[in-house]
Amino acid sequence: MTKTILITGSSSGLGRATAKHFHAKGWNVVATMRNPEREEELIRLDRVLVTRLDVQDLASIQAAVDAGISKFGRIDALMNNAGYGAYGPLEVTSLDKIRRQFDVNVLGVLATTKALLPHFRANRSGVIVNISSGGGRVTLPLGTLYHGTKFAVEGLSESLHFELAPLGVRVKIVEPGAIKTDFMSRSLDFSNDPQLSEYQPLVQKVLAVIGPMMEQGAPPERVAESVYTATTDDSNQLRYEVGVDVVELLGSRRSMDDAAFLGGMRTQFGLEG
């Protein structure tokens, strides 16, 4: 029987690339997004249901899950992909921005997962692939919020993978490094106040690192392939690193203790002394 995946944030980047990849592999795809009326490409594909899902709107999550099951009979996999990056000094970041970052990147993952669990439990099968980041294992300065959410995704996914194993449901974490999407223009929400001069040297250094890092990113199809492997490999492997940069970085992180690794990062950002 043809299998079905539901993907959040399919309007661009990793979500869109993964929707196309699973479709090309013969899967049905429930390609969800906040504004499906703007979608022009995915609506033209057979076996793809484009429907509305805003992870901040609980009713839209349930409606998308119901629409997917009603259209394809069942859902076999969920990719929790919707997310964005709130960066900048905490002191200048509004509480609204803080709440929104955790709402989308963390509560969105939990709420969408909860909406599918009764279905997965009844089927005694299902795969949940949560898009974390290399930034879910290591941090850059001024990423208090983004890294806070991605570390949360790592922890919640790891614990949940134990909880759901007896139900026949697998949880997977995909950790992309820099991937060349529209993340910088669409999904980077950088707060700053130039008048707070104490933060400005670090702001400049971080911006100088992030821009070129994203420019040299791997293509989104690499993540799509990894999500496909994670969904179909029938293994208990929890984490999948995507990209040479993240494999090197996390390898280096594992090879050092905190003092050595964090000391290296402080030096890189001119924070020694």
Among 99, 114, 124, 186, binds ligand NAP (CB under 6 A): 186
Angle at 80 between CA 79 and CA 82, to 5 degrees: 125
Task: Please give the order of strands across the beta sheet that includes 4-7.
Answer: 48-52, 28-33, 4-7, 77-80, 126-131, 169-176, 239-242
Q: Minimal distance in Å, beta carbon 197 to ligand NAP?
A: 30
Query: Residue of minimal CB distance from ligand NAP?
Result: 13
87 is an active site residue: no
- Distance between CA atoms of residues 158 and 152, nearest Å: 10
Q: Which is nearer to ligand NAP, 54 or 76 (CB)?
A: 54
Q: Minimal distance in Å, beta carbon 63 to ligand NAP?
A: 13
Footprint of ligand NAP on 200-259 (CB under 6 A): 214, 217
132 is an active site residue: yes
Among 36, 68, 83, 143, binds ligand NAP (CB under 6 A): 83
Neighbours of 111 (CB within 10 A): 17
Give yes or no for residue 99 binding ligand NAP (CB under 6 A): no
- DSSP-derived secondary structure letter, 168: T
Give the range of 165-173, 174-182, 204-212, 252-260 binding ligand NAP by CB under 6 A.
174-182
Among 8, 112, 144, 226, binds ligand NAP (CB under 6 A): 8
Identify the H or E element spanning 28: strand 28-33
Catalytic residue among 3, 20, 150, 172: 150
Angle at 184 between CA 180 and CA 186, to 5 degrees: 110
Q: Do 177 and 218 contact (CB within 8 A), yes or no?
A: yes
Query: Where do we find the tokens 């009326």?
Result: 37
Annotated catalytic residues are: 132, 146, 150
The footprint of ligand NAP (CB under 6 A) covers 8-9, 11-15, 33-35, 54-56, 81-84, 104, 131, 133, 176, 178-179, 181-183, 186-187, 214, 217
